[in-house]
Amino acid sequence: MISLEKLTKVYGRGDSRTVVLDGLDFSVASGEIFAVVGPSGAGKSTLAHCVNLLERPTSGAVLVNGENLSRLSEKQLRVARRSIGTIFQADGLFSRRTAAANVALPLDYLGATPAETKRRVGELLERVGLSDKASSYPHQLSGGQRQRVGIARALALRPSILLSDEATSGLDPESTASIVDLLKELRDDLDLSILFITHEMDTVLQVADSVARLDHGHIVESGALVDLLRDADSDLGRALRPRRDWEAASGADGIWFVSYEGRHVRPDWVSLLGAELGVPISILGASIERINGVTVGHATLGIGGVDPARVTGALAALGLTATLDDAALRPESDELEDVA
Ligand SMILES: Nc1ncnc2c1ncn2[C@@H]1O[C@H](COP(=O)(O)OP(=O)(O)OP(=O)(O)O)[C@@H](O)[C@H]1O
Ligand SMILES: [Mg+2]
C-alpha cells in the first residue's frame, strides 16, 4: 500500500521557484492498479521520483505499507527502496548483459549466492514469460520483451509496490496489451500496489482500477475507472472515452448522447426504447464494452418527434442517462421540431 500525504515538491528558489507537486493526497491499495494521467509537464515523473525517493519531497509524506519513507536516513532508505520496484519508458537494460544477467543485477548487488540467484532469475523470467530468452542480449529482444525483462528485474527483490512511468509508451498496441496483461496478473498473484503513470488514455482503459488526473501539480479529478466512465458529468470520464464523429441523423431527428449509468443495462435497450416511445430510433454511433467486470457504454442516437422529457424518462427507466445535442436547442432548430 502506498499513501501520499500532502506531498509537495518545489524546485528552485526566488523567481525561479516552481511548485511541481502541490499537496497530493491519495492511496494505492494492495492489489490495485492506480493510473495517473496528465499532460506533459504536469508533474507525473516528479511524482514517480518522489514515490521511489530518488527525489526528496519538499514537504508531506510518502508512506509505504505505513512506513514514512521521507523520514528515513540514507541507509534506511536503501533498504526501504527494495519494497518499490520501478519500470521506466526506456527499459534501462545493460546492453552487454544477457536478459538473465540483467535480472540478476539487484540480487548480485545484495550478495545473493550464485545458486540462489540462478533459481530466482529462473523464476522471474518464467513469471514474465521469457524463460526461453534467458541468454538473449537486449538487442535480440523486441521492445515488449525488453520491457518484460525490466519488469522481472523490478520484481527481483520481492517489492510490494511497482511503479511504472510511461512503461508502455512507445510500444506497439500488441506489446502494450501483453505488458498490461502481465501487470494485471502481477497485481492479482503478488497483491502488488501498482502506480501506473501514463499519458495514454487507451492504456488506462485497459489497465486501471482507479485513475487520477494530475494537472499543474494538483489532482483535479480521481475515482474508480468504471465510475468515471459512467458519470456523464465527469471530464476525466469524457477524456477517457473521447466522443468520435457520429453518422448524420435525418433532419427531423434530435441527436442524443446516451451513456450507461446503471450496472445492469439490458442489451436490448434500444428495442425497448423504440417500443416505449413509439418512434424509430437511429443508432448513429455506439461503443459498448466490459471494463473491470462492468458494462460501460455510450451511444449517439437520432430520435425525432418526441418530447425530450419523455426520452429522458424512458432512458432513465432503462438505466441510461442522456443529453440532447446543444445544436438541437438552438433557435434555428425549432423549425425542425415543427416539421417533426
Ligand atoms: N530537477 C528539476 N528542476 C527543476 N524543474 C524540474 C525538475 N524536474 C522537473 N522539473 C519541472 O517540473 C515540471 C514537471 O515535470 P515532470 O517531468 O514531472 O512532468 P511529466 O508530467 O512527467 O511530463 P511528461 O509527460 O512530459 O513526461 C516541469 O515543468 C519540469 O520542467
Ligand atoms: Mg514524465
CA distance linking residue 299 with residue 301, whole number of Å: 6
Looking at the structure, tell me whether residues 90 and 193 fall in a common domain. Answer: yes
pLDDT band at 168 (very low <50, low <70, confident <90, very high): very high
Reported as a single tens digit per residue, the pLDDT across 218-248 is 999 999 999 999 888 899 998 998 777 778 8
Q: Is the pLDDT of residue 329 over 60?
A: no
Residues 148 and 6 in one domain: yes
Mean pLDDT of the chain: 90
Is 278 in the same domain as 144?
no
Q: For residue 179, how far is its CA from the centre of ligand 1 (angstroms)?
A: 25
Considering the domain architecture, whether residues 229 and 260 belong to the same structural domain is answered as no
Q: How far is the CA of 7 from the centre of ligand 1 (A)?
A: 15
15-19 LR contacts (CB < 8 Å, sep 24+): 19/217
Residues bordering ligand 2, an ion, CB closer than 5 Å: 44-45
Classified as helix, coil or strand, 240 is helix
Same domain, 139 and 44: yes
Residues 161 and 289 in one domain: no
Query: Looking at residue 96, which CATH number applies to its domain?
Result: 3.40.50.300
Backbone φ and ψ for 286, nearest 5 degrees, come out as -165, 150
Q: 319 lies in which domain range?
A: 244-339
Ligand nearest the Cα atom of residue 38: 1
CA distances from 337 to 278, 280, 329 (A): 17, 16, 10
59 and 205: one domain? yes
pTM recorded for the entire structure: 0.88
Q: State residue 326's pLDDT score.
A: 67
For residue 153, pLDDT over 90 is answered with yes
DSSP conformational letter for 214: E
The pLDDT tens digits for 1-50 are 999 999 999 999 989 999 999 999 999 999 999 999 999 999 999 999 99
How does strand 210-215 pair with strand 32-37? parallel
Domain stops at, among 194, 219, 237: 237
Q: Both 253 and 233 in a single domain?
A: no
Question: Are residues 184 and 82 part of one domain?
Answer: yes
CA of residue 20 to ligand 1 center, whole Å? 7
User: For ligand 1, is residue 48 a contact (CB within 6 Å)?
Assistant: no
Last residue of a domain, one of 204, 237, 270: 237
- For residues 268-284, give the mean pLDDT: 95
Average the pLDDT over 135-145 and give the result.
Answer: 95
In this structure, the answer to whether residues 114 and 224 fall within a common structural domain is: yes
Residues 188-197 pLDDT 10s: 999 999 999 9
**Which residue is closest in CA terms to ligand 1's atom 29?**
41
- Percentage with pLDDT > 90 across the chain: 73
Last residue in a domain, options 222, 237, 252 = 237
Domain check: are 228 and 261 in the same one? Answer: no
Verify that 194 and 257 share a domain, yes or no: no
Predicted local confidence at residue 334, as pLDDT: 45
The grid cell for 266 is 439490458
Domain harbouring 299, CATH code: 3.30.70.260
| Mean pLDDT computed over 76-90 | 89
pLDDT at 337 over 80: no
Give the pLDDT score at 327. 63
Which of 8, 11, 56 gets mutated to test ligand 1 (max ligand atoms within 8 A of its CB)? 11
pLDDT of 67 above 50: yes
pLDDT, tens digit (0-9, with 9 covering 90-100), for 47-62 = 999 998 889 899 999 9
Q: Which residues contact 239 (CB under 8 A, 6 or more apart)?
A: 37, 201, 213
Cα distance between residue 50 and residue 26, in whole Å: 14
Mean pLDDT of 259-268: 88
Give how many domains the chain has, as a whole number: 2
